[in-house]
Structure 1
Amino acid sequence: MDDKDFLADRFEGHRSHLRAVAYRMLGSLSEAEDAVQEAWLRLSRADADGIENLGGWLTTVVGRVCLDMLRSRTARRETPLESHLPDPVVSREDGADPEEAVLIADSVGLALLVVLESLSPAERVAFVLHDMFGVPFDQIAPLVGRSADTTKKLASRARRRVRGEAPVPDSDPARQREVVEAFLAAAREGDFEGLLAVLDPEVVLRADTGAAAAGGMRVLRGAAVVAGNAVGFQRFATAYATRPVLVNGAAGILNSQDGRPVSVLSFIVVDGRIAEIHVLSDPDRLAGLDLTAFDG
């Protein structure tokens, strides 16, 4: 094995970890892959013999690459929270594969990723690297161009935002599924009162139909408003083949028609009621997800 092959082998040992860092930073599976690939290119051009802690070095490089990508979004005046949902990680109910498990470890659900999308690039980088991966502030500070103390304040602001806005789902998967099934049963019947019974009064629904569709992502708030869209839910529950799945580790459903995925729904269940519903029905985004585990 020559030096380049040896370095590539060492890099592969860190790939899953780096994908997890980039996914939390960007909320995009494809962009996370791009960031990891860029880290490899930078490593292949660096003096690897002078790197004492390869994992730490690569984590920092991925952080820098992701920060540049986030700042590029801002420069293009994109507003991710208002325009699209983060990419979901869809897995079978009998458990995610090891790489999926790394991606969604530490309860990295869609609700958390949605809140992360609302942070400034520097806040997001500081919070993800420090709070999720334990990178010291004095190592993050040069990335964001701030002092260590200011970087700590960035992470603190982000932490308060996350704690205030990202609901913590019930931990019992069976209970989550029971609530989702009750929701689907009420939807099939067009049962307005039944829907109200399983929806949190402050429930939020985000439906991402894609940029080509009028209005892009639609956001509905409040149990009465969400339940009032029972006709739409009834179509999900009756017109499509519905398969129970996990979406970022939480109860969800995959809808398909003639073997083609048409939507992925994620439900955040808190205290026995649905607090958030995320609907991804953008055909282009769905085509980019790895749903091969559900073929056949």
Structure 2
Amino acid sequence: MEQARNAILVSRRQQGNPVLKHVKNVRWVFADIVPDYLLGQSSCALYLSLRYHLLHPDYIYFRIRELQKSFRLRIVLCFVDVEDVIKPLHEVTKIALLHDCTLLCAWSLVECARYLETIKIFENKPADAIQERIDNDYVSRLTSALTSVRHINKTDVLTLGSNFGTLAATMGASMEELARCPGIGERKVKRLYEAFHEPFRRTVRQARLSEMGIVSSGKEGTQKCSESPPSKGAQVDNMKDDLGEEQTSDVPSTKNPEVSVRKALDAAYAKLGGRHNPKESSEEVENFCHQEDESKGNSMDL
């Protein structure tokens, strides 16, 4: 019993399934069970090939009904083995969502096996075992925040921290001030500035406006990309003519500018009051950079 408890229980329906040949990191045994794979006391998996789904579209529906409500985690492991996946994958996704199942898609038999192994291995482990660990010091939190911007690495974070001191000062810097930092090129400056000043939400209509050459940028409002831009009122009228009356509700208005990331965080800092001390944060960054320089100098001496 103890050996079966530490192994994946496989339904006898799965005899001959080539996925089993690739399950090598976890033991598995055949058993008389309702799901295809029993991965824990409250987790199971049903295997489905998209090619088989095209031949038997009702199969997965009846298999999910057989499970009833016996398992907390119910996985539909879908093997994508057809070229045209849009329609069948849409159908499988809809069935999984309607019946409270988690859909996992794999494009190879090895990938299917790795999913089964991983779920079994993490059966009794807490959720924080796979979460990213971030230290509580200011430099680590600053690094975690800024490296989420594309092309920004840890060295760039140290450069920005030593030049501006705090995240708020970095967010308030202009493109010219960011460009003065060594190692921060034109592409990184653009990425940083856009990350801090773009609106939180970007609708489909705004994406279409961007494709048409119409850009929206905070205080300047909406402008048409041209050598001699027309007046703001004429710009909105032109956009209404291009998009039609039904889509004019999504046209950005100069009276109500979009809330950017910087403005939202400034409001949050205002609510926090005196809980955050920029001077202490700046000193902590400078001390960290000084320690880094000393360690590099010692390594060079060696």
Normalising to structure 1: TM-score of the pair? 0.23
Compare CA radii of gyration and give the structure with the larger one.
Answer: 2
> Which structure exhibits the higher relative contact order, with contacts defined as CA atoms closer than 8 Å and separated by 6 or more residues?
1
Per the normalisation by structure 2, the TM-score is 0.23
